[in-house]
Amino acid sequence: MPKFVRDTLLEKLWKRVAVNPEANACWLWTGSTDGHGYGQIASEIQFGSPVKTHRASWELAYGEPIPPGMFVCHKCDTPACVRPSHLFVGTAADNMNDCSKKGRVRKKLTAADACEIRGASGTHRDIATRFSVTKSTVTSIKAGRIWKYAEAMVAASALEWPRLSEHNRRKRDRPEG
Ligand SMILES: [Zn+2]
């Protein structure tokens, strides 16, 4: 994401988010939403189609593009929430299971879980049982097909917006060179 796009998006996003100072509280987007409750920003950025705020938030917070074909899901089941620590990248199946309240039985993995699974020894079936996930999830994590960025996400988990925008502001006020 080019720097000017990043700064513009960050500003647009920040203006309409109700940041709740309580630990682990959702940060709700207060601007326009799509039919499913997801926040959106009208944008020139993505060929004129609106940018989904939770996706933008994830990319801005973690500094990585969302891997192709992957979805940004909510741990908190609140579509309007854009708090980076409430978001995770998942597969289409995760998106179906974790982004909807319907029929969810599997445990929701965190990036930390994914790291543990990646490092766990034993058969995939045993590991699956230990973490209450399916065997295919374990296989996919071990193969790096999903949760590719789990380690980076854990490392970046302290990085949230206020700090990021503070950082950007300082950079703008004091240009390099
Ligand atoms: Zn939330």
> How remote is the CA of residue 36 from the centroid of ligand 1, in Å?
15
pLDDT digits (tens, 9 = 90+) for 107-129: 567 788 888 899 999 999 888 88
DSSP state of 28: E
pTM attached to this predicted model: 0.53
Tell which residue, 131, 105, 106, has the closest CA to residue 116: 131
Q: How confident is the model at residue 139 (pLDDT cuts 50, 70, 90)?
A: very high
> How remote is the CA of residue 133 from the centroid of ligand 1, in Å?
22
Mean pLDDT of the chain, nearest integer: 78
> How remote is the CA of residue 164 from the centroid of ligand 1, in Å?
18
Q: How confident is the model at residue 53 (pLDDT cuts 50, 70, 90)?
A: very high
> How remote is the CA of residue 87 from the centroid of ligand 1, in Å?
8
Q: For the stretch 84-117, what's the b/e string if a residue is b when 16 or more beta carbons lie within 10 angstroms of its beta carbon?
A: bbbbbbbbeebbebbbeeeeeeeebbbbebbbbb
- pLDDT exceeds cutoff 50 at 177: no
CA 131 to chain CA mean position, Å:
21
Q: How confident is the model at residue 164 (pLDDT cuts 50, 70, 90)?
A: low
> How remote is the CA of residue 31 from the centroid of ligand 1, in Å?
16
CA pair distance 81, 72, nearest whole angstrom = 12
Q: Cα–Cα distances in Å, from 2 out to 8, 43, 119? A: 10, 15, 35
Average pLDDT over residues 86-91: 89
CA 108 to chain CA mean position, Å:
14
CA pair distance 114, 67, nearest whole angstrom = 16
Average pLDDT over residues 37-60: 79
Q: At what angle do helices 3-15 and 161-173 cross, to 10 degrees?
A: 130
**Residue 114 near residue 121 (C-beta atoms within 8 A):** no
> How remote is the CA of residue 145 from the centroid of ligand 1, in Å?
26
> How remote is the CA of residue 165 from the centroid of ligand 1, in Å?
19
